[in-house]
């Protein structure tokens, strides 16, 4: 595989890389191959090779929503960090899938553009945010994404519009159709005052510092909030706030966060999540949905 990939010219290749470096949980074993394509042509060649050879693969952003296996991942992980173009034309933003959504939120604030403040504390990429329909403060990507550029499972590059993306709470067409890869997004914002926008972002930053365990590795909210309720409240009600399994612990600051206290394993986090799901189902008959993704 090494020789074939080198000849194909599919981007920067790193072999036997530990995924601890590439997930915000700081959990994960080695992966056979990590590749950074530099453009659409390289990515297309890579996906074509992967499919022809039936190789396991996954496209990831900043790994801010992933719980990665500690076992050897015998496949290819693709990161689109090089897809980082940015064009700001009045209120219309065209941005590559690998661009940091947090960095973008701060950048557009300087231009006096409002609508992306919610993303100032989300440590993911634009592509990841589009895929997850990331959001906070009662808004999300579905409100601001007008269209995206994708690579389809048939290796065609095409546009998909907001109406095609089936955006719902933390859900999208892309999640149900993982063969589609987001390459670029067009985001439409509104004009505002830079000082007022930055004030909102600073206020929310201070609130996050007070209410979220940002000093520990985690992947943010573990569960989606059920309709008319909060996952954190349910977790507290079943007595799991502060509960630990190995190095994984339900945060005492915010019960919908599981933190890595230093040496958490994939199984520690998975076991804690599954216990919480089971207890909430038994006590409240609520099938609570996981917002994070296991990669095995």
Active-site residue set = 170, 221, 291
Contact call for residues 220 and 65 (beta carbons, < 8 A): yes
User: How far is residue 174 from each of residues 53, 56, 59, 168, 171, measured CA to CA in Å?
Assistant: 24, 18, 12, 12, 8
- pLDDT (mean) for 177-205: 97
Number of independent structural domains in the chain = 3
Residue 104 lies in a domain: yes
Q: Each residue of 12-39: pLDDT tens digit?
A: 999 999 999 999 999 999 999 999 999 9
Q: Lowest-confidence range among 1-5, 28-32, 119-123, 166-170?
A: 1-5
pLDDT at position 2 is: 86
92: CATH: 3.30.465.10
DSSP 73: E
Q: How much of the chain, in percent, has pLDDT values that exceed 70?
A: 100
pTM for this prediction: 0.94
Q: Which residue has the tokens 């579905």?
A: 142
Q: Each residue of 68-103: pLDDT tens digit?
A: 999 999 999 999 999 999 999 999 999 999 999 999
Residue 107 lies in a domain: yes
Which stretches does DSSP call E strand in 64-108? Answer: 66-68, 73-79, 86-89, 92-96
Q: Each residue of 246-291: pLDDT tens digit?
A: 999 999 999 999 999 999 999 999 999 999 999 999 999 999 999 9
Q: What is the DSSP string of 150-196?
A: EE-TTS-EEEEEGGGS--BTTB-HHHH-TT-EEEEEEEE-EE--HHH
- pLDDT at residue 3 tops 90: no
Residue 208 lies in a domain: no
Contact call for residues 116 and 141 (beta carbons, < 8 A): no
Residue 95: which residues within 8 A CB-CB, separation 6 or more? 85, 86, 87, 104, 126, 184, 185, 187
Residue 100 lies in a domain: yes
pLDDT at position 18 is: 97
Does 110 lie in the same domain as 180? yes
Tell me which residue range forms the domain holding 71.
Answer: 2-79
- pLDDT at residue 1 tops 90: no
36: CATH: 3.30.43.10
pLDDT at position 261 is: 97
For 286, list phi and psi in degrees, rounded to 5: -115, 125
What is the Cα–Cα distance from 234 to 69, expressed in whole angstroms? Answer: 27
pLDDT at position 104 is: 98
């Amino acid at each position: 595989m090494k020789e074939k990939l080198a000849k194909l010219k599919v981007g920067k290749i790193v072999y036997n890389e530990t995924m601890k470096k590439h997930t915000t949980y700081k959990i994960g074993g080695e992966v056979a191959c990590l590749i950074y394509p530099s453009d659409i042509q390289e990515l297309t060649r890579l996906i074509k090779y992967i499919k022809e050879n039936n190789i396991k693969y996954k496209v990831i952003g900043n790994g801010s929503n992933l719980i990665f296996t500690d076992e050897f991942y015998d496949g290819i992980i693709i990161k689109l960090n090089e897809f980082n173009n940015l064009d700001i034309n009045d209120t219309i933003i065209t941005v590559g899938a690998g661009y940091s959504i947090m960095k973008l939120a701060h950048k557009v604030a300087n231009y006096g553009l409002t609508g992306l403040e919610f993303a100032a504390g989300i440590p993911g990429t634009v592509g990841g945010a589009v895929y997850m329909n990331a959001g906070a403060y009662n808004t999300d990507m579905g409100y601001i994404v007008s269209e995206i550029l994708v690579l389809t499972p048939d290796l065609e590059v095409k546009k998909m519009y907001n109406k095609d993306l089936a955006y719902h709470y933390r859900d999208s067409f892309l999640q149900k159709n993982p063969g589609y890869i987001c390459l670029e997004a067009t985001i439409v914002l509104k004009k505002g005052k830079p000082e007022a926008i930055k004030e909102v972002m600073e206020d929310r930053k201070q609130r996050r510092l007070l209410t979220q365990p940002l000093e520990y590795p985690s992947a943010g909210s573990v569960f989606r909030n059920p309709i008319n309720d909060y996952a954190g409240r349910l977790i507290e009600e079943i007595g799991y706030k502060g509960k630990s399994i190995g190095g994984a612990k339900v945060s005492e600051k915010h019960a919908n966060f599981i933190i890595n206290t230093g040496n958490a394993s994939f199984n520690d986090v998975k076991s804690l999540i599954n216990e919480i799901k089971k207890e909430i189902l038994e006590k409240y008959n609520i099938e609570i949905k996981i917002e994070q993704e296991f990669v095995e």
